[in-house]
Amino acid sequence: MAKRIKAPSAMPGFIKPQLATLKSRAPSGAGWLHEIKYDGYRTQFLIDGDERKAFTRNGLNWVKRFSVIAGALDVPAQAIIDGEVVVVHDGRTNFSELQADLARGDQDRLLFYAFDLLWLDGDLRSQPQAERKRLLKELFDDHDLRPPLMYSEHLEGDGQQLFEHASQLNYEGIVSKRADAPYRSERTEAWVKIKAVQREKFPVVGFVKDPTGVAALYLGKREGKELLYMGKVGTGWSRTVSGQIRKQLETVVSPKSKLTKPIRKPKATWVEPKFYAEVEYRDITSEGLLRASSFKGLTGK
């Protein structure tokens, strides 16, 4: 059985999550645990007898949306598990597919990748990262936890090698964690993230229709009082997601472009820049346009 560290303090509710600092290169050498970076919703599951809660990064309880995962956490203990709720599509986690499933109330594809254990009949946050991962793995093994619950595996050693491999597989990147560090509810350099691609939110200024949804989105970027054209994105969504995007954008259609410097796009349906597209891209061209862009999700302003 997993060793449980006793503490007299009462079980907390939501614990503000530890966040990773963005770096350009993965750490090398001993003393680091390297994990794949998941593209989903950061979630903290709290287990206390028959009670289950599922806290988002901002402390909202989404247990009804994640009730299937919560029900699978059959652990006869007080526990708080940190991780990411995802949908795997075409071999990798896909945020826009996750958003689409949640919009439909569909939980069939939801998975929870658990990567940290903050509480197990006592507070584990002062324990080293490597010890918390060991206890988490024991928890999975001792209670035969299976999908939709997933234990997030890690590698030790050369983080850059894992990052390059992750990049070849079109993963978002990796997260490297100091093996000897405690859990801290803040952004720290004990956790660092290395991204294979850049990711940003851009206001949607227009779209091109296709028979059932959108063929492309036109994107802008605010610089001071100006709204400048940043190019378009035309990949990264399924037919279902495409239709949902169009329904949302048709609520904010505008008779003309809201860009500071108008551009000629004969097929464009212009919109008020009320929605933001989250987009991955490789870089920005000399003309100031996104290169190799891929849609990840649509959010309100």
Q: Report, as residue numbers or ranges, the catalytic residues.
A: 37
Q: Which alpha helices (DSSP H) does the chain contain, by range? A: 67-72, 95-104, 129-142, 159-168, 239-249
Report the side by side order of strands in the sheet with 19-22: 19-22, 187-195, 173-178, 32-36, 155-156
Instruction: Kindly list the distances between the CA atom of residue 204 and the CA atoms of 226, 246, 271, in Å, as whole numbers in the listed order.
Output: 14, 12, 7
Phi-psi map region of 270: left, alpha, beta (phi>0 left; psi -120 to 50 alpha): beta
- The two counts, helices (H) then strands (E), for the chain are 5, 19
Determine how β-strand 198-209 pairs with β-strand 275-281: antiparallel
CA atoms within 13 A on the CB side of 297: 20
DSSP letter (8 states) at residue 10:
P
CA 4 to CA 1: how far, in whole Å? Answer: 9
Instruction: Kindly list the distances between the CA atom of residue 281 and the CA atoms of 45, 98, 292, in Å, as whole numbers in the listed order.
Output: 32, 20, 5
* CB distance 72 to 149 below 8 Å: yes
| Dihedral (CA of 106, 38, 113, 187) sign | negative
* CB distance 51 to 11 below 8 Å: no
